[in-house]
Structure 1
């Protein structure tokens, strides 16, 4: 249908070649095509195909961010036919993704219609793709869905400007660039001066609690099934999960100022909690030999956030255990 429509339009343009006025086209329709595909990451080429048509969108690397956009506020980019390009093509035969992504374009099928966008606004609405909660009600982010709409597109067709009010390019899915490793062992630690509680994974991830409530860690055993409890917030009992660009060792922690290496790749923060409902810390303390106590730190119903993205650590998430000594 689109090929027939395009041919009729071009025929009309030929008949009206002396008319300098703009022509408005109601629709370029690729909505029924499944999600968009891509060829490369650098100078990203995203495309949709029909049997004998393609809609090609070229954008800079990192245009599709790993974060959800705020409700009703999509990312916007102006088509400039340089960094941001949009091209519609019609062919004289059937095409496939291998044709679009070939370094040396095949000789067949041939391009018989080609419309380069001169202007327009690319709007990208991004939502996170979250896994189904497991038995512990924990979730993870597996990637992001980017819904692309292009507004007020002006093509140059045979020297005449053709305006398309809206093109619903559709969905383009990306996977997480960084895998979030949350498999901490049972061995946590506490810094003697700052009181920071931490655990880390050598490959480059750490979870920490800063500005600890003084009542959480005490050298006395807690009654059975009565842990000490404190709510997570941005000012007290601050929970952070960080991913680093290289490996970690014990030597990174408990230093002031904080070492600049390894550098931090991304940071997730614990959302403010509600007492006995969500986002709180439980500490169970038991004796650990003469003049020593073992503290087991568990997070309950915690949500980690970064920008507009978030996921659940689950009903229970163990940070680990560490021991303190009572001075003689």
Structure 2
């Protein structure tokens, strides 16, 4: 039987040790922060946030973010028309970055005026391009209004962000194309619609106010005529843009009846947000119904209701309710 010479065994053993050592060294070098190499980025499941003019997503030791000149001008709470997103050119003011860090990161890493010393940046990619742009498509997130049957609430606004025609510059080279940042949400103002059932009027302007909110209807005089309506037969008309104009206004501070009964319209309180009623469509939406009863000799009570009214601001809209009581108005 043939046997391997004893002298050969130590050499084979030595080779195994060398191979193991080289493999371990390669592993250590691959883990060294300075040599970190990221092949791709995926932040689709991360929630976006912002501080100042920076919008960012964080994932463990990674950050994907961009900075613009004016955050509020880009992320307007209004739907963009279909096929017409808001855009900004990618340049020295509107900048896009990906960074990998030496340890886990939090909001302070990107939002501190003086960045912390650790973790440190171990790899950075930039996105550039002469024709590159930041593209934002905005849509309202609408939920059911549990307080008003058939009504809707705009809960927040969703901004879908894509970087178009940019160069992704990485340590391993440059890749050209479109890159998805993902969705970013901004809160909508809460519109309380917390009115009582008493309406007031100045001439043909019917209004209901509560704190800093008001709903007004520039009503056609014949709808509130001092004459009792037959049972089950209210006076009706459609909301319009010249007559029977419906408006909801949210002010910066409390508003009083005096605001609606003087001319010119006061400059205070300041308007925070204003929505206009859509023009009504016969048998579909935006119907005014007024039922008038006698409330004493020469006194009349008008019950004013809005059926399927829609409010709109810019390109965003929501349904008020199936049947909304604007209020009871007393006239004589």
Q: Give the TM-score of the pair, scaled to structure 1.
A: 0.82
Instruction: Name the structure where helix makes up a greater proportion of residues.
Output: 2
Match of 2:236 in 1: 229
Larger radius of gyration: 2
Q: How does 1:132-171 map to 2 (within 5 A)?
A: 132-134=144-146, 136-154=149-167, 162-171=174-183
C-alpha distance 281-200 of structure 1, shift in aligned 2 (>3 A): same
Determine the structure 2 residue equivalent to 1:306.
Answer: 313
Structure 1, residues 237-280: CA drift from partner, whole Å, max 9, x if none?
11111112222111111222222222222210111112232111
The CA RMSD measured in Å over matched residues stands at 2.6
Partners of 1:98 and 1:226 in 2: CA distance: 64
| In 1, Cα distance between equivalents of 2:234 and 2:165 | 60
Partner of 1:51: 60
- How much does 1:9 deviate? 11
In 2, Cα distance between the equivalents of 1:262 and 1:51?
46
Query: TM-score scaled to structure 2, two decimals?
Result: 0.81
Equivalent residues in 2 for 1:111-126, closer than 5 Å: 111-119=121-129, 120-126=132-138
Name the CA shift for 1:96/1:33 in 2 (closer, same or farther; >3 Å).
farther
Per-residue deviation, 1:155:
5.2
Are the equivalent residues in 1 in contact too, given 2:36–2:122 (CA < 8 A)? no
Question: Which whole-Å CA distance do the structure 1 matches of 2:44 and 2:200 have between them?
Answer: 55
- 2:216 equivalent in structure 1: 208
How big is each residue's C-alpha offset from its partner over 1:33-58, in whole Å with a ceiling of 9 and x where there is no partner?
323122x2x32x21123333211112
CA contact (8 A) 2:142 2:154 kept: yes
Q: Which region of structure 1 is more displaced relative to structure 2, 302-311 or 126-135?
A: 126-135
Give the unaligned 5+ runs of structure 1. Answer: 12-26
Q: Do 1:140 and 1:311's aligned partners in 2 also have CA atoms closer than 8 Å?
A: yes
Q: Decide whether aligned partners of structure 1 residues 311 and 170 sit closer, same or farther in structure 2, where only a CA change above 3 A counts.
A: same
Q: Is the CA contact 2:139–2:159 (under 8 Å) kept in the aligned structure 1?
A: yes
- Structure 2 segments unaligned to the other structure (5+ residues): 1-29
1:297 corresponds, among 278, 285, 304, to: 304
**Does the 8 A contact of 1:285 with 1:294 survive in 2?**
yes
Higher alpha-carbon deviation: 289-298 or 112-121 = 112-121
1:127 and 2:139 correspond: yes
CA deviation digits over 1:182-224, x for unaligned, max 9? Answer: 11111111213xx1111112x22111111x2232111111111
Check 1:121–1:28 CA distance in 2 against 1; reply closer, same or farther (3 A cut): farther
Q: Is the 8 A contact 1:29 1:167 kept in 2?
A: no
* Higher relative contact order, chain-length normalized (CA < 8 Å, sep 6+): 1
